[in-house]
Structure 1
Amino acid sequence: MAQPDLSQHEKDEALLQRFGYRQELQRTLGFLSNFAVAFSYISVSTGTFSLFYLGLAAGGPAFFWTWPIVAGGQFLVALNFAELASHFPIAGSIYQWSKRLSGFTLGWFTGWTYFFAGVLTVTAVAFTVPIPLLAIFPNIPATILGLNNAVFIAL
């Protein structure tokens, strides 16, 4: 007797049952999961430990009062992203939003710009995190070799 034609999904589920597992995939992200992803991507510690001291050294005490202004501007950007995400709840972030609002060409440029911004962000983090590490480990020489070692330790 021939087996009934099963879909790939059903075959995978049957294979898991043979091994004693039940197919289970939670396809939801709760508040805590979303917060953890957003917080780790924003990299608050990088800005606090490296850029704050750089700005304080360059601008003096007046620099401290610029942080609430910038935080307010960033909050407005976050509200714009939240509004777009509520209207277009699909994967793809700003690429999809730009494509649906302005067409494929602008969406294409927006997607690649966002990709390169992400690459530059990761690169900037890789080079600014070692700054406090060099202060914590004063025996590491502050040369290119020492900076490379600090980057390796940070990663």
Structure 2
Amino acid sequence: MEKTDVTEISAVIDQLNVPTTAKADDGYVMAIMGKKEQLVRRFGFLSILALSITLLSSWEAMACVFYAGLYNGGPVSLVYGMILSFIGTLALASSLAEMASSNPIAGAQYHWTFMYAPKRAAAFISWMQGES
């Protein structure tokens, strides 16, 4: 399969006068790459939220952290710790969302690392990320 440059795809999409909905953008991008959408999207906000809570196992992690937080800092440290970790998680999610919106690729982390790393170390850093 021949490699398609992201800037070429975005230039073609701009010329096609594409609607602004995400599904329409995906359909046009897939058509430009010569692919056809195979799966129907049925996830809504609530189902994605439930899936992320399940996958992150945040409730189990909180149960393990409560002992150390209550023993060392009390309830105040738990409350402020939750607020700080929530802000950090939002910052991480927004940075990943920014990269996903600018470069929607299936193997995202490896490709993003290769694209944003210094050129002389990009291949090695991407490989190291795949190994970890």
Question: Shorter-chain TM-score category?
Answer: 0.5 to 0.7
Question: Identity over the aligned pairs, expressed in percent?
Answer: 27
Equivalent position of 2:49 in the other structure: 35
The residue correspondences of 1:49-88 to structure 2 (distance < 5 A) are: 49-64=63-78, 65-88=80-103
Q: Give the direction of change, closer, same or farther, for the CA distance of 1:91–1:34 in structure 2 (3 Å limit).
A: farther
CA offset at residue 86 of structure 1? 1.0
Query: Secondary structure in 2 aligned to 1:83?
Result: helix
Q: What is residue 104 of structure 1 aligned with on the other side?
A: 123
User: Helix, strand or coil: the match of 1:28?
Assistant: coil
Would you say how many aligned residue pairs link Structure 1 and Structure 2?
89
Give the AA of the match of 2:43.
G
Which one-letter code corresponds to 1:108 in the other structure? W
Larger radius of gyration: 1
Q: Give 3-state SS (helix, strand or coil) of 1:90's partner.
A: coil
- Structure 1: which 5+ runs fail to align? 1-24, 114-155
TM-score normalised over the length of structure 1 = 0.49
TM-score where L is the length of structure 2: 0.56
CA distance in 2, matches of 1:39, 1:61: 23
Q: 1:26 aligns with which of 39, 42, 49?
A: 39
Q: Which has the higher contact order (CA 8 A, sep 6+)?
A: 1
Deviation at 1:36, TM superposition (A): 3.7
- The CA deviation at 1:69 is 1.4
Per-residue CA deviation, residues 42-92 of structure 1 (Å, 9 max, x unaligned), is 112112222123322222233122220121111111110111111121112
Q: Please tell me whether the aligned partners of residues 69 and 75 of structure 2 are also in contact (alpha carbons under 8 angstroms).
A: no
Partner SS state of residue 66, structure 1: helix
Distance 1:66 1:95 in 2: 31
Deviations 1:90-116 (A, max 9, x none): 112322210222222211112223xxx
Structure 1 pair 90–28 and aligned structure 2 pair: CA distance change class (3 A): farther
Q: 2-side partners of 1:78 and 1:35: how far apart?
A: 13
Structure holding more helix per residue: 1
Instruction: Tell me the alpha carbon deviations over residues 3-47 of structure 1, each in whole angstroms, 9 at most, x when there is no partner.
Output: xxxxxxxxxxxxxxxxxxxxxx63435234533432222112112
